[in-house]
Amino acid sequence: MASIAPEAAANLHTERANPHWVRLGGDHKLDHIPGEDGWPVLGTTLMQLADPLGFQKRMVETYGPVFRTRSFGRRGVNLIGADANELVLFDRDKLFSNEQGWGPVLNLLFPRGLMLMDFEAHRVDRRALSIAFKPEPMRAYCGVLNTGIASAMEQWAKNTGNGSMRFYDAIKALTLDTAASSFLGLPLGPEADRLNKAFVDMVQASVGVVRKPLPFTKMGKGVAGRRLMVDYFGRLVRERRANPGQDMFSQFALATRDDGSLLPEDVVVDHMIFLMMAAHDTITSSATVLFWQLAKNPRWQDRLRAEARAVTGGDGLPLAYEDLGRMELTEMAFKEALRFMPPVPNMPRRALRDFRFGGYDIPAGTPIGISPAAVHADPAHWESPEIFDPMRFTADKVAARHKYAWVPFGGGAHMCLGLHFAYMQVKLLANHILTRFEVRMAAGAEPLWQAWPIPKPRDGLRVEMRRIC
Ligand code: HEM
């Protein structure tokens, strides 16, 4: 299997290691864009990390929807609004690079993932990987998830009985365990635990302040975790090719490109590692937001419980793949949770050519950011955006809205490949949890949310669980 020399691997995210990335040619090229450079060295980074939404709101009010910032040592331009989302995500003129936008953040740990590829190479691999999301394999994952979530519920019932728990932590553990079975086809046990730990180290490293893989740093642990996963997954590709199962990894191992050739082994490995990252914290975060709001809105919780009972026929029963489409209110509530606090609040790109937007000329090489979170909170599209209201997602309301006012899964060529998997998993969670437990906020609990890099409640979301079956 092709491997990258350690010294090259340690620099994958840098400009030096990527001579083909388009250069801005000096920060002064953005002098004409209104905005702020922030503090010496730190720039606007800390302000952006501490309160991204508040920061963006202030910048839009002060400078308008096209503004300049300086974070992680570089100037960049933010384009805020539904039209900006459409320009960048739909990318009709192939102006924006994903690789050069996400690469500086993710290349060290998740290089060559689908989201970090551009244009034709991306199209070819995306098409190959799509087979893993066709109805047949999805039905198989649905079966595995039903079983995995039901047995986690037994554990929850034993651990909490009628008691309190940290919902975010419990969902995180549950999605990690179900990922081992549905993505990798592994039974729970020491092997799955070892991989899960390596994976968690990688995800934590992607937000580490120290960007070099030095010993004892998050990045050092993350890079070691990646080595372990690359090694293990490399062997697993060969095993699954010889003896495929119904898991997602087997689908990837057997995926073919347009010319009929199998994806190379190291490519399968990189795609799988990226996919696990793309799936894990996003589902954990959005399911937590949904249950936070259901805990605060008992009326909506009752409606979703009634829907699950009507669709499955009772309490604590599996939700069949064929019935997913009947969980309509649950889907609307999940969409509202994704609006309320999108797991991917901002998306980076880099301009490949000069372009004009909002009255400004923006040069090639400019780091560009768009913000689903800002547009999802914009009263121009959402009346009283601070209120949780799933009725915003009735068909007529959706049809009347700008198509790019709600973009939790992105859009265009890079639109989330796993979005139907995400809907499925969250509907399964809603069914299994709500038909067994009533969920209420713990007395006095109102979580503070850490916004970066993927929203999570600082206190783990303290809830009371009362058994109903
Ligand atoms: C609520 C859950 C999820 C949210 C909010 C979410 C969000 C996103 C977003 C915003 C993008 C596009 C980023 C960009 O264009 O810069 C994306 C891409 C992607 N997501 Fe998801 N995601 C979720 C769950 C999942 C799951 C469960 C999987 C896999 C099973 C997955 C796999 C992917 C992949 C492979 C891409 C790259 C697609 C491409 O570049 O062609 N995601 N996701």
SS3 42: coil
pLDDT at residue 32, rounded to an integer: 98
Look at residues 325, 331, 320, 367 and name the one whose alpha carbon lies nearest to residue 346: 367
The angle subtended at Cα 168 by Cα 415 and Cα 332, nearest 5°, is 45
From 78, 158, 124, select the one nearest 351 (Cα to Cα). Answer: 78
- Please identify, by atom number, the ligand 1 atom nearest to the C-alpha of residue 348: 16
Burial class (CB in 10 A: 0-12, 13-18, 19+), 63: middle
What's the pLDDT band for 329 if we cut at 50, 70, 90?
A: very high
Contact 357, 382 (CB under 8 A): no
Residue 453: what pLDDT?
82
Nearest to 339 by CA among 312, 377, 370, 311: 377
pLDDT of 355 strictly over 70: yes
User: Which residues have C-beta within 8 Å of that of residue 276, sequence separation ≥ 6?
Assistant: 179, 183, 199
State the Cα–Cα distance between residues 342 and 455, nearest whole angstrom: 8
439 in contact with ligand 1, CB cutoff 6 A: no
What pLDDT shows up at residue 193? Answer: 85
Q: Is the dihedral of CA 25, 27, 31, 33 positive or negative?
A: positive
Question: 177, 151 in Cβ contact below 8 A?
Answer: no
CA 149 to ligand 1 centroid distance, Å: 22
> Torsions phi, psi of 75, nearest 5?
-75, 150
At residue 356, the 3 state secondary structure works out as strand
Residues 348, 78: Cα–Cα separation, whole Å: 9
What atom of ligand 1 comes closest to residue 349's alpha carbon? 16
Question: Of 112, 103, 104, which Cα lies nearest the Cα of 265?
Answer: 112
Residues β-bridged to residue 466 = 438
First-to-final CA distance of the chain: 51
**Residue nearest atom 16 in ligand 1 by C-alpha distance:** 347
Ligand 1 pocket member 343 (CB < 6 A): yes
Q: 331-348, pLDDT tens digit by residue?
A: 999 999 999 999 999 999
Q: Rounded mean pLDDT of 66-91? A: 96
List, for residues 91-129, the tens digit of each pLDDT value.
999 999 999 999 998 888 889 999 999 999 999 999 999
**pLDDT digits over 129-180, tens only?**
999 999 999 999 999 999 999 999 999 999 876 689 999 999 999 999 999 8
Ligand 1 pocket, 249 CB below 6 A? no
Q: Is any atom of ligand 1 closer than 6 Å to the C-beta of 275? A: yes
> Are 350 and 368 in contact, with CB atoms under 8 Å apart?
yes
Spatial distance between the Cα atoms of 121 and 94, rounded to a whole number of angstroms: 13
Cα–Cα distance for residue pair 231/220, rounded to 1 Å:
17
C-alpha atoms less than 13 angstroms from C-alpha of 147 in its C-beta half-sphere:
10
Mean pLDDT for the stretch of residues 383-400: 98
Residues 6+ apart with CB under 8 A from 291: 167, 171, 433, 439, 461, 463
Ligand 1 centre distance from Cα of residue 421 (Å): 10
- For 220, phi then psi, to 5°, come to -60, -45
Tokens of 71: 């974070």
